[in-house]
Amino acid sequence: MGDTGLMTAGMCSVTYRHLPADRIIELAVGAGLERIEWGQDAHIPLGGEAEAHRVGEATRAAGLTVSSLGSYYRAGEIDDLEEDRRVWRRVLAAARALGAPRVRVWAGKTGSASVTPAERRRTLDALKRCVDTAGDVVVATEFHDGTLTDDAVSARAMLDEVPGLRTYWQPPNGMPDGEALQGLRTVLDRLEAVHVFSWWPTPRQRWPLDHREGLWRAVMDVVASTGRPIDALLEFVPGDDPAVLGREAATLRRYLRRAAA
């Protein structure tokens, strides 16, 4: 894992949705990154196991590791149970063809403040089915507004009710650094990966990573305290510009080296 301790620097392929997978691999290698989370929406479509296998093999041949499949499966969204199971089987098939050790899923389609008890129960039951049927593939939730993980307390309750479920983390839009870090600590024992980007104070203001240096250095310190291997994945860069990936990756590696020291 290079010189960054147990944390590993990588990227999400959705950083460059418009680029082909082979170009993303080239960019990751050129930026000195180690892992790629491949997104289902643009690069690993469901039902395309042959392409998923090809992309996984190409990733490994370049000396990189497949971090995960970034799926857009939303637990509890599909009312028909058999259809939900069918979709989930396709997600798992894509992950296995890719050689992904983890699948990222979404904790429903409604925020924690407005979800009904019945909808929350349906979402948790679907997440439990995912975990129970995933075998050796880790299931981890996106940490995002409009879902049960839009609030750290809600995310913690979700994790406590679904044994084996893991989660990602990212700083909620507009949240002060101290509050965001407290949320990270709330789910830290079940953390699998961090999505790294610098939006502030809204998604319309997309800055270089070092614009929020204080936050990200603190995040890496907190994550390093676990002593566990956890991915730090660049998810968005200013202007969606491939030319800035090397700079952003160098900033991320610097934060990881400092946290590992």
The pLDDT of residue 3 is 56
Taking the CA of residue 134 as centre, how many other CA atoms within 13 Å lie in the half-sphere pointing to its CB? 24
Contact between residue 170 and residue 197 where contact means Cβ atoms under 8 Å apart: yes
Distance, CA of 102 to CA of 30 (rounded, Å) = 25
What DSSP state is assigned to residue 109?
A: S
The SS3 assignment for 216 reads helix
3's CB contacts (< 8 A; 6+ apart) are 253, 257, 260
Strands 138-141 and 166-169: parallel
pLDDT of residue 6: 87
Model confidence at 4: pLDDT above 70: no
For residue 234 the two structure tokens come to 């660049």
Count CB atoms within 10 A of the CB of residue 84.
21
- pTM, whole model, 2 decimals? 0.96
Q: Two tokens at 113?
A: 């403040």
**Mean pLDDT over residues 21-49, rounded?**
97
Q: Where do the domains of the chain lie, and which CATH numbers do they carry?
A: 8-260 (3.20.20.150)
- pLDDT per residue as tens digits for the range 159-204: 999 999 999 999 999 999 999 999 999 999 999 999 999 999 999 9
Cis peptide before 203 (omega within 30 of 0): no
Arithmetic mean of pLDDT, 205-228: 97
pLDDT at residue 184, as a whole number:
98
With CA atoms as reference, report the closest residue to 101 among 136, 128, 140.
Answer: 136
Could you tell me the two tokens for 229? 């291997």
pLDDT of 1 over the 50 cut: no
pLDDT the model gives residue 171: 97
Give the residue among 202, 203, 208 at the shortest CA–CA distance from 252. 208
Q: Say whether 129 sits in a helix, a strand or coil.
A: helix
Is cis: bond before 201, omega within 30 of 0? yes
pLDDT tens, residue by residue, 54-87: 999 999 999 999 999 999 999 999 999 999 999 9
Question: Computed from CA positions of residues 62, 67, 70, 76, in that sequence, does the dihedral angle turn out positive or negative?
Answer: positive
For the segment 217-223, the average pLDDT, to the nearest whole number, is 97
Q: Hey, what are 46's tokens?
A: 């469901």
* List of E strands, the chain: 8-12, 35-39, 65-74, 102-106, 138-141, 166-169, 191-196, 231-234
